[in-house]
Structure 1
Amino acid sequence: MIGNEVVSHLLFTFVYFIFVSLFKGFDLNIIWLWLGALLGTFLLDLDHLVYWFLTHPEKEDSIQARQFYKAKNYKALYGLLQGWHHTHTRLVFHTATFQVILFVLAFYIISAGGSIFGSALIMSVNLHLLKDEWFDYFKKGKAGLIDWLFWQVRGVPKERYLDIYLLGATTLFLVLTIFWL
């Protein structure tokens, strides 16, 4: 259920950014930190809109989504997402390729002394993707995770490198966090 997923993403974001806030200190910038964190938590889920309106417009749920959107029935659109989000496995932003781009952006923004808002946003998006990866790794197993994380990658034994990839991505996220603090 996507409602539970929203709660779990908010919980992860809250815990992570409380930790970051303690090290960054409490001043007026805390507002930008938390705004970036909250926006970043949900930014990755725009992927489902891309799925409905651009990459898979022929799907049954995509047709319904367009109807709800035209009628400005956003509550029904959210309900549709709750019922169908688990079937969206070929999302553009939920991939290893996009995660590498996210890490490059995070390194650039953090190392360049970019805005607290931008840093929080990019780290929150990374946290969201890592949380999804680890939850699916333990909940659905390797095959389920490989199906959506590596769907763009061809010619590589994906299962062989999944553990290394997840540990590397998690380590890089932690290193970026330490560098950011």
Structure 2
Amino acid sequence: MLGSEIISHFLLTIIYFLLVSVFRGRFDVSLVWLWLGAFLGMFLLDLDHIIYWFVTNSEEEDSRQARALFKTKNYKGMYLLLKRVHETHRHLIFHTATFQVVLLILSFYLLTAGGSVLGSALVLSLNLHLLKDEWFDFFGGRKEALKNWLFWQIRDFSAEKYLAPFLVGASILFLILTVIFK
């Protein structure tokens, strides 16, 4: 499952940033920074699982296994462990509605304040990663799981009522950010 998820992130990132590259109309050295930011952003959110293992949920069994694998520098084993258990990681810091709102605000600031191409591409890629995960869960029959990982920080909240409007709103804002990016 994780392997196909990585491939889908990779393909979506390539397609999106190819379109961005063409519509920007600039074929200069800034493309290097654009693509570097795109690929960094594609994987940066997955650091959430490392934080889960080593900081926020270090008492969990898979966290102990990850630490043991890390001590022996068995990074392939860590990847295989993540592949097996990543869907059980529900309370991730970067995979929440709260983080996404902050990220959208930060993205708007970076894109309108004339931030670097690297930073702009990075935040666009982070947003793309989150939206891809959200829409795949939404349309893939995993709405309950989506509500659990997206809104776990918000208490006494009707996630069922606001899930679709939140995703549509975040997607529209992302499209606006894409148009703003030069």
TM-score (norm 2): 0.97
Amino acid at match of 2:4: N
Aligned to 2:41: 40
Aligned to 1:176: 177
Aligned to 2:7: 7
Instruction: Provide structure 1 residue ranges, at least 5 long, that are not aligned to the other structure.
Output: none
Aligned-residue identity in percent: 57
Aligned to 1:29: 30
Aligned to 2:20: 20
Amino acid at match of 2:92: L
Cα deviations across residues 65-118 of structure 1 (Å, max 9, x unaligned)?
000111111111111111111111111110000000100110111000000000
SS of 2:115's partner is: coil
Instruction: Provide structure 2 residue ranges, at least 5 long, that are not aligned to the other structure.
Output: none
Superposition misfits of 4+ residues, deviation over 6 angstroms: none
Is 1:126 the counterpart of 2:120? The answer is no
Residues of 1 paired with 2:62 and 2:4: CA distance?
Answer: 21
Residues of 2 paired with 1:71 and 1:79: CA distance?
Answer: 15
Question: Residues 55 and 106 (structure 1 numbering): CA distance in 2 closer, same or farther, change over 3 Å?
Answer: same
Aligned to 2:84: 83
- Alignment length, in residue pairs? 181
Q: CA RMSD in A?
A: 0.8
**Structure 1 stretch 35-44 or stretch 69-78: which is displaced more?**
69-78
Amino acid at match of 1:126: N
Q: How does 1:57-76 map to 2 (within 5 A)?
A: 57-76=58-77
Residues of 1 paired with 2:31 and 2:143: CA distance?
Answer: 38
Checking the alignment, whether the CA contact within 8 Å between 1:137 and 1:144 is kept in structure 2 is no
Residues of 2 paired with 1:47 and 1:142: CA distance?
Answer: 21
Q: How does 1:92-131 map to 2 (within 5 A)?
A: 92-131=93-132
Aligned to 2:57: 56
Residues of 1 paired with 2:95 and 2:157: CA distance?
Answer: 18
